[in-house]
Each structure stands twice: as C-alpha cells, then as structure tokens.
C-alpha cells in the first residue's frame, strides 16, 4: 500500500476526505471535475439551461452528475442502461434519456436541447450532443467509450458558436490538478460518492474487469489491496 513516485505527481488529500474517498473519486472523478471547471470558465452556469452528461452511469458520468447536481444544474443524464434510471436520479439527474437518442448519425444541426455537456463517449454521441447544444454553449469532451471518431460538421461551431472543450487529465499542470481536487473536496457530496462506489478485494479484480468491459459496472470500483 506504499509507492515511491515523483513528488510533482502528488496532490495533497483534500480536507475531510479519506484515502478510500480519494480512490473512489479516482482519475474518472477528477476528470469529471475538470469538465465542470471548463464549463464554468466558458460561462455555462445553471442559469444558462440544462447540461447533458453522456455515459452517465459510468465513472466519469456518475461523478459529473453528482457534482453538477450539488452546484444546482438541471442535468439530462444519457445512459444505455434503463435500469440505472433511479440510481441516476438519486445522484441528482433531473431527466434520464436513452443513449439510443444520441447514437445515430447526427444532423448538422438539431433542436437546441441543452446549454452544455460532459461527454465521455465520443463518436456519434458527441456529434449529436454538439448538434443539440444551444447558441453559445459548450461541451467538455473527455472520453471515447463509443469511438475515437467524430463524424460531425462545422455547423454547430459556425452557426451557433458552440465550443468543444478538450479535457486532458494526464498532463494537466499541477496548479490545475490542485484546483480540481480542492473543488472535489468542496463540491462532491461524500454520501453520493459512497452510493456510486463499491469496494472489492484484490481477488475480485479479474471479474470486475470483465464486468467493466461488458458494461455491467456503474459508478466507481475501489480495490482494497
């Protein structure tokens, strides 16, 4: 349970958060916070309108829904697992939609449905999210669960002024990482974090990995070494 690493890699544990909490947040939750900060900096505040979260039952999505809910956003949660609807509403989602609504090839522009979004899926899903983002809105993109391609057009960017905000969690400067973890400490409800995470033993890793690949895991999994 100890590691020797470069000091520059390390960020202090936020006050009031246990090491277990920090691992429940993990890279996924930290990335979700980076997305929220990027949207805020672009002026996507709750008053601007709804925010969509794709892959909402996954690691990034679950934490994003929880944080955005704590900050007062109206959240449209997109998931391929209808059975997780109550889980997502418990985390703070205002609406739950099927990922099928966003999985087909996108029109250049579609009806405006949200002011911003957090996307961990990519491909057709991100293309649809962009086409449905309202004038002057922004989408934070951080994942590729649905593919690395982006089959979209320039229409959302040049006709609605939509911005695509790229989120990188690996090479972010230390000041950015420090701010993200500080915000996690203040804006993430620890009870919701407990509800979206499960703990397994070291001997459960292989089974959990299969479940993740098959899309059977929701939220976060913490390994007790």
The helix/strand/coil state of 166 is strand
User: What pLDDT, on a 0 to 100 scale, did the predictor assign at position 91?
Assistant: 97
| Cβ atoms < 10 Å from Cβ of 148 | 7
Pull the structure tokens for residue 202. 């070291």
User: What pLDDT, on a 0 to 100 scale, did the predictor assign at position 73?
Assistant: 98
CATH of 7-224, one of 3.40.50.300, 3.90.1150.10, 3.40.50.10490, 3.40.50.720: 3.40.50.720
pTM: 0.95
Q: Is 213 exposed, middle or buried (0-12, 13-18, 19+ CB in 10 A)?
A: exposed
User: What pLDDT, on a 0 to 100 scale, did the predictor assign at position 182?
Assistant: 96
**Are 56 and 77 a contacting pair, CB within 8 Å?**
yes
Enumerate long-range contacts of 72-76, CB under 8 Å, 24 or more apart.
72/46, 73/46, 74/46, 74/49, 74/50, 75/50, 75/51, 76/50, 76/51, 76/52, 76/113, 76/114
CA quadruple 14, 24, 88, 123: dihedral sign: positive
User: What pLDDT, on a 0 to 100 scale, did the predictor assign at position 3?
Assistant: 87
Kindly list the averaged pLDDT for each block of 10 residues, start to end, along the chain of length 225.
Answer: 88 94 97 98 98 97 98 97 95 97 97 98 98 98 96 98 97 95 96 96 96 91 93
User: What pLDDT, on a 0 to 100 scale, did the predictor assign at position 224?
Assistant: 93
| Adjacent-strand bridge partners of 133 | 114
């Amino acid at each position: 349970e100890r590691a020797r690493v470069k000091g520059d890699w390390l960020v202090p544990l936020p006050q009031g958060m246990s090491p277990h909490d920090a691992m429940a947040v993990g890279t996924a939750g930290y990335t979700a916070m980076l997305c929220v900060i990027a949207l805020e900096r672009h002026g996507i505040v709750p008053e601007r309108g709804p925010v969509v979260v794709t892959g909402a039952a996954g690691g990034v999505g679950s934490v994003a829904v929880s944080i955005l809910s704590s900050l007062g956003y109206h959240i449209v949660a997109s998931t391929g697992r209808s059975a997780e609807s109550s889980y997502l509403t418990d985390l703070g989602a205002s609406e739950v939609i099927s990922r099928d609504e966003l999985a087909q090839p996108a029109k250049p522009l579609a009806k405006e449905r949200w002011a911003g979004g957090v996307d961990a899926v990519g491909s057709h899903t991100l293309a649809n999210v962009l086409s449905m983002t309202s004038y002057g809105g922004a989408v934070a993109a951080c994942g590729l669960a649905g593919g690395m391609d982006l089959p979209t057009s320039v229409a959302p960017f040049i006709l609605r002024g939509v911005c695509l905000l790229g989120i990188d969690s690996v090479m972010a400067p230390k000041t950015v990482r420090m701010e993200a973890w500080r915000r996690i400490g203040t804006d993430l409800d620890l009870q919701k974090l407990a509800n979206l995470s499960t703990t397994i033993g070291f001997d459960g890793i292989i089974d959990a990995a299969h479940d993740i690949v098959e899309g059977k895991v929701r939220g976060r999994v913490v390994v007790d070494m």
